[in-house]
Amino acid sequence: MGCRCSKLTPCCWGSQFKAAVLEGPEIENEDKGEVDNLPVFREFTLEQLKSATSGFAVDNIVSEHGEKAPNVVYKGKLENQTSIAVKRFNRVAWPDARQFLEEARSVGRLRNNKLANLLGCCCEGDDRLLVAEYMPNETLAKHLFHWEAQPMKWAMRLRVVLHLGQALEYCTSRGRALYHDLNAYRVLFDEEGNPRLSTFGLMKNSRDGKSYSTNLAFTPPEYLRTGRITPESVIYSFGTLLLDLLSGKHIPPSHALDLIRDRNLQMLTDSCLEGQFSDDDGTALVRLASLCLQHEPRERPNPKSLVAALTPLQKETEVPSNVLMGIPHSASFSSLSPLGEACSRRDLTAIHEILENLGYKDDEGVANELSFQMWTDQMQETLISKKKGDAAFRQKDFREAIECYTQFIDVGTTVSPTVFARRSLCYLINDMPQEALNDAMQAQVISPIWHVASYLQAAALAVIGMDNEAQTALKEGATQEAKRSKTSGQK
């Protein structure tokens, strides 16, 4: 279409448009987006989640939230290689364990491909944790407000709001119409670059386990009066997200409505979008945002009518999201490093050569706290065991290497991810894949973002016959190595 953004036609939303959006067509969507290949909601032990997140390592923190709802979200990986996001509340949150479990189980019954689905929870002592699908490609806020390579394209912005509307429609149909803090940080992107709504926001407020509150910068008018949110309040927040996507900025709704009334739409729309959409499309989205931001809740559209209004606006529907977003496809392994290639082929000889050449340089920065007594009494013996293990490893006497490395590990005065990685390969060569997997996972506990540990897990899992899990571990290793290379290249 290719019209300039600055030439958007004046917006006049008459009763005919409003009625059509508010009521929505009486049709059922053919694809409700429900998924049945996810495991049922389960309860995890605290020990399982500690292991999955490498002891809640700082390196695995994905996000942190503030004073009103203190919690931290970690990236983790289960034993079956499923990547997870673990939200850990502070110890005073959710004092009633029964309420927490009931609420988590209720949200955990939802299963939809427009959601980052809740997989489980943990409730032990004072600890309260939620476990959800991990979304590896950042938040909408990152791609919209803090982009590096390219601004988000118009077609992708339209796809985001449609997926978000479909997520809200699904949740509403399942009796979960209320959402806590709907904002650009709650919209996540999966491996394929598709937008998903975080299910963490479906949980009621932790203070009393019964109500919802909001930490939004721009709160619905009725919340200021009552202190409570309603399904219509969620639509108001949806309207603020429409403004975010139109403007590329987080602007106050009152200011946006003033611009709309004054027909000053050039100030409202993102200059990065110039030439990407027609006057009619831009006007339609501005109209929809204005309806969502109506002062009276009853005048706002419902999720079903939002989906009806957004569906015909979609562009480039045949183009995959990862292409629109400029995200490399997760299934592409054409650029695997020599170690990644060796592990994918289970070429144990090549892996040995690479690990030997790598030495211990990746152990730099691993924290080891030792008392003076340990240094004087045990370190000499420990270092001798390690040196013997290294000599056996170099000479390909892998049984001797296992014995010596085990002596080093069992003393426990120092930890070394490299020793675990080397013993893992020795176990693989001696046809002990489960022991090899355990060591590779232990290496990652010590060094959570170490690509070598993920690659060795892939090799061990493939030998065990867990091919899907092996592919997942291989992807993980490739991602970690790419980030490592990028970081080192920027130094």
Active-site positions read 181
Given CA atoms 175, 197, 162, 264 in this order, what sign does their dihedral have? Answer: positive
Distance from C-alpha of 465 to C-alpha of 257, rounded to nearest angstrom: 59
DSSP 464-480: HT-HHHHHHHHHHHHHH
Q: Are residues 237 and 182 in contact, defined by beta-carbon separation less than 8 angstroms?
A: yes
Residue 39 CB-half CA count within 13 A = 13
Instruction: Identify the CA nearest to 460 among candidates 444, 439, 477.
Output: 439
The two structure tokens encoding residue 141: 């806020």
Are 191 and 207 a contacting pair, CB within 8 Å?
Answer: no
Radius of gyration of the chain from its Cα atoms, rounded to whole angstroms: 26
Residue 162: partners with Cβ closer than 8 Å, 6 or more residues away:
307, 310, 311, 313, 314
Phi/psi of residue 283, each to 5°?
Answer: -65, -40
The rounded Cα 156 to chain-centroid distance in angstroms is 18
CA distance 172 to 426: 54
Give the bridge partners for 42, in sequence order: 120
Q: State in Å, rounded, how far the first CA of the chain is from the last one.
A: 43
Q: By C-alpha distance, which of 97, 92, 44, 53 is closest to 73?
A: 53
Give the residue from 154, 364, 371 showing the smallest Cα distance to 245.
154
Strands 115-116 and 195-198: parallel
Contact 226, 294 (CB under 8 A): no
Burial, 272: exposed, middle or buried (Cβ in 10 Å; 0-12, 13-18, 19+)? Answer: middle
